[in-house]
C-alpha cells in the first residue's frame, strides 16, 4: 500500500468542530481529548498503511475499532471517521455511514420547507446543468465517508462538459501525479480519497470526457483558514491565471464551498476564490439533505419531503420561475438524495444514474470459502495499479459468531453484486493473507 502523504488531521478538523458544535461540547478539555484522539488515529492509520494490500490495511483499522473500550469516547468518535474512510475504500458503504454520521438538526436561519412555498421537485442532473449554463465555476460538495454524495457528480460531469466546462478540480488529489492525464485513471498514489471507487470514477469519467483534471489541495502546514486560502490560490493560479476563459467544476468537502459566513475561524475556499477573481460560482450543496442511519438524524425538511415524495434519483426544488431552493444562505441549491434501495445488501445508487449495472458474484465460488475476501473489478484497459471500478468485501461471521462483533460487510452474506459500466474487466480476488487467489476476465453486457 502507498503511504498517505496528506495530513489527515486537517481532514478531521472540520468534523471535530461540527461534532462539538452539534453537541454543545466545545470545551477546551473536550477539544483537547479530540485532538489527542486524532493523533492516535493517525498513528493507527500510518501502521495500517505499512500493510501490503488494502484488505490488510482495512483489517488493522477494524481491529483497532473493535479493541477500543466503550468509555474511550473521544477516540471512538474520531476514529470512527477514520474507519469509515476505509469502509468506503472496500465498498462497504452502509457500514461506513453507520460508523460515522453527522446529524442535520434544524438550524437558526434555515429556509422554510420547500413543500410550503410553491416549489416543485426537478431532477437534479437537469436542474444543475441548466443553472450552470451562464456560470464560470460550479462548486459541488460531498460528505467524504458517504459516497452517495458523489453519485450525482459522476453523471453530471457529461452534462457540464456539454455546457462548455473544461476543468475539473479534485480535493486532496496529489499534485505530483504527473502521469494522471496520460494514464487516464487514478491509482492509490493519486490522492487521499481516490482509493474509494466512486471518487476514482469521478476522475476516470472527467478524463474520458476531456476535462483537464486539476489538483488544488494545500500542502502547506498551518491553520484551517490557511488551507482554505491556499486552496483558492491554487485554483486561481492553476486554472484562471493560465486560462482566463476557463470554465471550472470543483469537487470539495462540506462547507469549503459556502459563499457567506465564517468557516473554521476564517473564510471558506469559495469566499477566498471569489475575492481573488470576482467569481460568482454556482454552489451545489449535497451533504445536508441525505438519509442517515437513524431517521432522527435527518433534517426535518428532509423527513417531510420523503414522506410525501418517493423519488428514485437525486432532485432539487425550483419555483415557477426556475429559481432553486436552498436550505441555507451561502449555497445556491440543495440536492435531496432519496433513501437507498438495497439489493443484495448494496445500495442502488451505485448505478450512478444508470451508467452502471449490477453484475452477480459468488464469494463462495471466487473466494473458496476463505474469509475475509476482497473482490475487485478493474477495467480491462487499465493497469493493475488502477483503483477498482467497484469492490465487494466478503467477511461472514464464524460459526458460532463471536459474542461481541461489529457489523459485518453485506451483513455476512457470501453472494452480492458489483456495479459496473458495460465493458470488459478483470476480477481480482485478494485473500486475508494478501495473496491474489483468483483473476479472471469478465464482460458486462449493455443493458
- The CATH number of the domain where 232 resides is what? 3.40.50
Same domain, yes or no, for 91 and 125? no
Q: Could you give the 3-state DSSP secondary structure of residue 221?
A: coil
What does the pLDDT average to over 314-324?
Answer: 97
Same domain, yes or no, for 380 and 426? yes
Same domain, yes or no, for 338 and 364? no
pLDDT in tens, 144-196: 999 999 999 999 999 999 999 999 999 999 999 999 999 999 999 999 999 99
Domain end among 99, 134, 169: 99
In the prediction, which pLDDT does 310 show? 85
Q: How many CB atoms lie within 10 A of CB 443?
A: 11
Q: Could you give the 3-state DSSP secondary structure of residue 230?
A: helix
Query: CB–CB of 268/227 below 8 Å?
Result: no
| pTM score of the predicted model | 0.94
Specify the number of domains making up the chain. Answer: 3
- Strand pairing class (248-253; 137-142): parallel
Query: CB–CB of 130/124 below 8 Å?
Result: no
Same domain, yes or no, for 279 and 311? yes
In the prediction, which pLDDT does 103 show? 96
Task: Flag whether pLDDT at 23 surpasses 60.
Answer: no
Please return the burial class of 3, using the count of CB atoms within 10 Å of its CB with bins 0-12, 13-18 and 19+. Answer: exposed
| pLDDT bracket for residue 222 (50, 70, 90) | confident
Structural domain contains residue 154: yes
Query: CB–CB of 388/323 below 8 Å?
Result: no
Q: Which of 433, 334, 402, 385 is nearest to 56 (CA)?
A: 433
In the prediction, which pLDDT does 21 show? 45
Structural domain contains residue 113: no
In the prediction, which pLDDT does 27 show? 80
What does the pLDDT average to over 353-367?
Answer: 97
pLDDT in tens, 261-290: 888 889 999 999 999 988 899 999 999 999
What does the pLDDT average to over 58-78?
Answer: 91
In the prediction, which pLDDT does 3 show? 52
What does the pLDDT average to over 194-208?
Answer: 98
Query: CB–CB of 442/381 below 8 Å?
Result: no
Domain end among 280, 313, 342: 342
What does the pLDDT average to over 219-248?
Answer: 93
Domain end among 317, 342, 367: 342
In the prediction, which pLDDT does 93 show? 98
Residue 30 vs residue 136, higher pLDDT: 136
Same domain, yes or no, for 126 and 89? no
As beta bridge partners, residue 375 has 392, 429
pLDDT in tens, 407-445: 899 999 999 999 999 999 999 999 988 888 878 999 999
Structural domain contains residue 46: yes
In the prediction, which pLDDT does 398 show? 83
Query: CB–CB of 270/283 below 8 Å?
Result: yes
As beta bridge partners, residue 318 has 120, 324
The kind and range of the H/E element at 21 are helix 8-23
Query: CB–CB of 352/158 below 8 Å?
Result: no
| pLDDT bracket for residue 22 (50, 70, 90) | very low
In the prediction, which pLDDT does 12 show? 55
As beta bridge partners, residue 259 has none
Burial code of 107-139, b = ≥16 C-beta within 10 A, e = fewer? eeebeebbbeeebebbebbebbbebbeebbbbb
In the prediction, which pLDDT does 63 show? 93
What does the pLDDT average to over 365-393?
Answer: 96
Alpha-carbon span 232 to 222, nearest angstrom: 15
Alpha-carbon span 425 to 312, nearest angstrom: 28
Structural domain contains residue 1: no
Same domain, yes or no, for 264 and 394? no
Structural domain contains residue 109: no
Domain limits for position 396: 356-444
Same domain, yes or no, for 265 and 322? yes
Structural domain contains residue 349: no
The percent of residues in the chain predicted with pLDDT above 70, rounded, is 93
Handedness of CA 380, 385, 390, 392 (dihedral sign): positive
Alpha-carbon span 22 to 37, nearest angstrom: 19
Q: Which three cell numbers stand for residue 31?
A: 477539544
pLDDT in tens, 287-308: 999 999 999 999 999 999 999 9
Same domain, yes or no, for 188 and 288? yes
Same domain, yes or no, for 338 and 360? no
Q: DSSP assignment of 253-265, as one string?
A: EGGGG--SS-BTT
Structural domain contains residue 434: yes
Structural domain contains residue 319: yes
Query: CB–CB of 374/393 below 8 Å?
Result: yes
Residue 117 vs residue 75, higher pLDDT: 75
Amino acid at each position: 500500500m502507498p503511504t498517505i502523504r496528506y495530513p489527515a488531521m486537517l481532514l478531521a478538523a472540520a468534523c471535530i468542530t461540527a461534532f462539538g458544535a452539534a453537541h454543545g461540547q466545545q470545551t477546551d478539555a473536550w477539544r483537547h481529548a479530540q485532538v489527542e484522539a486524532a493523533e492516535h488515529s493517525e498513528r493507527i492509520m500510518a501502521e495500517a498503511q505499512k500493510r501490503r494490500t488494502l484488505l490488510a490495511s482495512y483489517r488493522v483499522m477494524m481491529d483497532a475499532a473493535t479493541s477500543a473500550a466503550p468509555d474511550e469516547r473521544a477516540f471512538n468518535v474520531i476514529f470512527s471517521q477514520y474507519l469509515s474512510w476505509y469502509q468506503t475504500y472496500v465498498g462497504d458503504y452502509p457500514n461506513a455511514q453507520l460508523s460515522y454520521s453527522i446529524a442535520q438538526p434544524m438550524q437558526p436561519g434555515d429556509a422554510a420547507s420547500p413543500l410550503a412555498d410553491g416549489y416543485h421537485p426537478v431532477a437534479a442532473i437537469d436542474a444543475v446543468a441548466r443553472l450552470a449554463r451562464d456560470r464560470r465555476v460550479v462548486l459541488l460538495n460531498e460528505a467524504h465517508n458517504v459516497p452517495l454524495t458523489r453519485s450525482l457528480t459522476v453523471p453530471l460531469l457529461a452534462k457540464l462538459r456539454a455546457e462548455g466546462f473544461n476543468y475539473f478540480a479534485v480535493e486532496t488529489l496529489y499534485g505530483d501525479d504527473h502521469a494522471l492525464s496520460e494514464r487516464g485513471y487514478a491509482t492509490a498514489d493519486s490522492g487521499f480519497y481516490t482509493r474509494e471507487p466512486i471518487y476514482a470514477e469521478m476522475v476516470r469519467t472527467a478524463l474520458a470526457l476531456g476535462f483537464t483534471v486539476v489538483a488544488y489541495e494545500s500542502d502547506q502546514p498551518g491553520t484551517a483558514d490557511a488551507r482554505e486560502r491556499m486552496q483558492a490560490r491554487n485554483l486561481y493560479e492553476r486554472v484562471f491565471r493560465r486560462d482566463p476563459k476557463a470554465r471550472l467544476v470543483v469537487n470539495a468537502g462540506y462547507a469549503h464551498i459556502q459563499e457567506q459566513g465564517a468557516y473554521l475561524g476564517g473564510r471558506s475556499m469559495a469566499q477566498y476564490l471569489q475575492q481573488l477573481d470576482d467569481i460568482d460560482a454556482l454552489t451545489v450543496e449535497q451533504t445536508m439533505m441525505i438519509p442517515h442511519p437513524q431517521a432522527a438524524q435527518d433534517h426535518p425538511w428532509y423527513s417531510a419531503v420523503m414522506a410525501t415524495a418517493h423519488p428514485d434519483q437525486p432532485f432539487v426544488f425550483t419555483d415557477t420561475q426556475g429559481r432553486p431552493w436552498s436550505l441555507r444562505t451561502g449555497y445556491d441549491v440543495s440536492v435531496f438524495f432519496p433513501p437507498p434501495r438495497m439489493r443484495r445488501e448494496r445500495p442502488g445508487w451505485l448505478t450512478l444514474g444508470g451508467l452502471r449495472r449490477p453484475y452477480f458474484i459468488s464469494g463462495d465460488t471466487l473466494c473458496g470459502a476463505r474469509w475475509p475476501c476482497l473482490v475487485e473489478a478493474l477495467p480491462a484497459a487499465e493497469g493493475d495499479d488502477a483503483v477498482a471500478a467497484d469492490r465487494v468485501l466478503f467477511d461472514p461471521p464464524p460459526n458460532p459468531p463471536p459474542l461481541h462483533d461489529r457489523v459485518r460487510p453485506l451483513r455476512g452474506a457470501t453472494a452480492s453484486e458489483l456495479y459496473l459500466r458495460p465493458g470488459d474487466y478483470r476480477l481480482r480476488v485478494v485473500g486475508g493473507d494478501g495473496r491474489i487467489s483468483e483473476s479472471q476476465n469478465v464482460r458486462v453486457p449493455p443493458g
